[in-house]
Structure 1
Amino acid sequence: MTALLHDAAEAAALLRAGELVAFATETVYGLGADARNDRAVAAIFEAKGRPHFNPLICHFPDAEAAWAEVRADGRARALAAAFWPGPLTLVLPRRADSRVALLAGAGLDTLALRVPAHPQALALLRAAGTPVAAPSANRSGRVSPTSSAHVLEELSGRVAAVLEGGECAVGVESSVLDLSSPGGAALLRPGGVPAEAIAAVVGPVGRPVPPGAGPAPTHRSPGLLLSHYAPTLPLRLEADAAAPDEALLAFGPAPPGAGALFQLSAARDLREAAARLFAGLRALDAAGQRQGLRGIAAMPIPAEGLGEAIRDRLARAAAPR
């Protein structure tokens, strides 16, 4: 049963315990989890029925907390000074020592982050003491929620609690600006901060191609490319076993003989497997290169629940490059 809460400290305690909590921002209600907890982040995708592991926006109580996780240049700091707290998300290079779960960034070398303007959201983030990953609090593909009633209609029984925050003032999602390349700024999603206002701070901004108006832009955009942040070693799917010169990404009982092994979930738990997927690919890629292995073999994943998202990511990682 999903609880309706009015106390940010109580909601923060649930987040620290690995539970999901929906909360109001000035844009829409977000479905929050401790961004440093792999299993909690995986639970977001499960609760939403999200078909792909798209990067999630990580929320922070202030800019300095955000800068601890990413490399922020002068453009990012100027935009934060102008629009944070507020409906602007920045995509920046992830720091090597970032503790945010790889799944929250969809395994990319960037993180999307913002400081929300809603006072209750800021109170929750300060009380939680951890970055909070939060997409919109609705089923995947459905209309974004702007009230607690909307969230309960969509996700009752799928999340631990909804923190009552009233109606959302902005009502559309944040603008998402990619600053991961030093050569320019690219607007990945229009939203609460107009592109003209962003350009007034950082200069010309690349615009997204409208749906149906042409090919998708080639700048970094979650989940659009067929071969999407693949390991260096080639990846073989639906493998029953691995040769001595291959690494094995295992799901369930692992056959012997692989040159290196990473177990996604011995118990065949899809949430555990989702939480460990990106770390597993990175670990096997590094081990394989150290040992001179020729590739990575991935055991079959069932096409149900989170398995659909895992299979999607593996298919992209195995695609021709």
Structure 2
Amino acid sequence: METQIFTKENLDIAAKALQQGEIVSFPTETVYGLGAIATSQEAVLKVFEAKGRPSDNPLIVHISDIQQMISTVEEVPEIALTLAKAFWPGPLTMILKAKPGIYAPALSAGLPTVSFRMPNHPLTLELISKVGIPLVGPSANLSTKPSPTKVEHVFEDMNGRIRGIVDGGSSTVGVESTVIDLTNDEGPVILRPGVITKEQIEAVIGPIQSTVKTTAGEREVPKSPGMKYRHYAPKTPVFVVDGTVEAFEETIHKYKVQGKTVGVMAQNAIVDAFENKVEGTYKMGTSVDDMNRALFDALRTLDHLKLDVILAESAPEVGVGIAYMNRLKKAASTAL
């Protein structure tokens, strides 16, 4: 089966395919999602199969109307409504206790909680509305590979595995949503960092736990995706380098004397300094926001060159740099 590309003009066909239990990828501001109706166990299991995703890695439910969340959870704390008003539609995911018997058991890996997000993309909001049922939407890549931020990324991984892809252009954020758990007795806690930062959340709801829990133990079922398994990794080894010309110069020299081919993904000024000294480059812009937006495309682009190593610029682990470094560390090899 050749995977079909859908646009706004034939969105009704994509919606019908989803209603019939098929898998359709959709665009969001973060990354492309792998869509299936969230109430069908059979459809949700197809998503795990298409991705090759471990069954204890939960999925996020994507909604187009806040009533779709309100009507399917045990209770809606005031804090959830406050966060929704401030950040939805947008890259924030909230974990709440779901009413039993509504959503497919597989999407929460047996936990009583469900993660909800309202994506900030007009085509996907329209698609969910047309389907009339919330959709799961994990990143539309093969498990462990870099997340897709363009249609061609999805097609590369999913052609022949899914019914279609809704073309909504390139993702504008580039890394997955911030996930906040609202079911903890001790209060809200961030389980996955994103471009909506802890500081932005605290400006709306007041102080939250200072310890950000972003990993789960080997035997623990994670509440949020991105906490347990290796993610985002291309086949080419990736090493993180401090964001200075001197650090890149030293590291490039180290691999060159070994006869290695080298790729550099960094902000424009660093790439400009080494463009003629390495075999592959990717300019990631001039800010950490740009780096988040470019990260997954950079990893995929340089991986296609079949180099020996990829050297990736680090970012300060503050603000949106926390989200960038969280993804980059998961993509990277363990040591230089």
Alignment TM-score > 0.5, same fold:
yes
1:103 aligns with 2:106: yes
Partner of 1:294: none
C-alpha distance in 1 between matches for 2:195 and 2:124: 17
- Cα drift, residue 204 of structure 1: 2.0
Q: Is the 8 A contact 2:26 2:33 kept in 1?
A: yes
Q: Is the 8 A contact 2:56 2:222 kept in 1?
A: no
1:195 aligns with 2:192: no
Residue identity in the other structure for 1:221: K
C-alpha distance in 1 between matches for 2:5 and 2:213: 40
3-state SS of the aligned residue for 1:205? coil
The alignment's TM-score, normalised by the length of structure 1, stands at 0.65
1:85 aligns with 2:89: yes
3-state SS of the aligned residue for 1:145? coil
Could you give the per-residue CA deviations for residues 45-72 of structure 1, whole angstroms, max 9, x where no partner exists?
1000112331100001011111111121
Structure 1 residues 210 and 121, CA gap change in structure 2 (3 angstroms)? closer
How many pairs align? 221
- Cα drift, residue 165 of structure 1: 0.6
Partner of 1:67: 70
Structure 1: gaps (5+ residues): 226-321
**Structural RMSD (CA):** 2.2
The alignment's TM-score, normalised by the length of structure 2, stands at 0.62
1:23 aligns with 2:9: no
1:121 aligns with 2:113: no
Partner of 1:5: 6
- Cα drift, residue 17 of structure 1: 0.5
1:155 aligns with 2:158: yes
3-state SS of the aligned residue for 1:196? helix
Q: Is the 8 A contact 1:25 1:118 kept in 2?
A: yes
Q: Is the 8 A contact 1:63 1:84 kept in 2?
A: no
C-alpha distance in 2 between matches for 1:221 and 1:133: 15
Could you give the per-residue CA deviations for residues 128-161 of structure 1, whole angstroms, max 9, x where no partner exists?
0001011000000110101111100011111010
C-alpha distance in 2 between matches for 1:43 and 1:219: 20
C-alpha distance in 2 between matches for 1:219 and 1:154: 26
Aligned mate of 1:178, from 177, 181, 192: 181
Partner of 2:45: 42
- Cα drift, residue 3 of structure 1: 0.5
- Cα drift, residue 221 of structure 1: 3.3
Could you give the per-residue CA deviations for residues 171-208 of structure 1, whole angstroms, max 9, x where no partner exists?
11000000012430010000131111111122222343
Structure 2: gaps (5+ residues): 229-336
Please list every run of at least 4 consecutive aligned residues from structure 1 whose deviation after the TM superposition is greater than 4 angstroms: 222-225
C-alpha distance in 2 between matches for 1:38 and 1:72: 25
C-alpha distance in 2 between matches for 1:209 and 1:187: 6
Structure 1 residues 220 and 43, CA gap change in structure 2 (3 angstroms)? closer
C-alpha distance in 2 between matches for 1:12 and 1:210: 34
C-alpha distance in 2 between matches for 1:184 and 1:146: 33
Q: Is the 8 A contact 1:100 1:131 kept in 2?
A: no
Partner of 1:221: 223
Larger mean Cα displacement after TM superposition, 4-13 or 78-87:
4-13
C-alpha distance in 2 between matches for 1:178 and 1:219: 14
- Cα drift, residue 9 of structure 1: 1.6
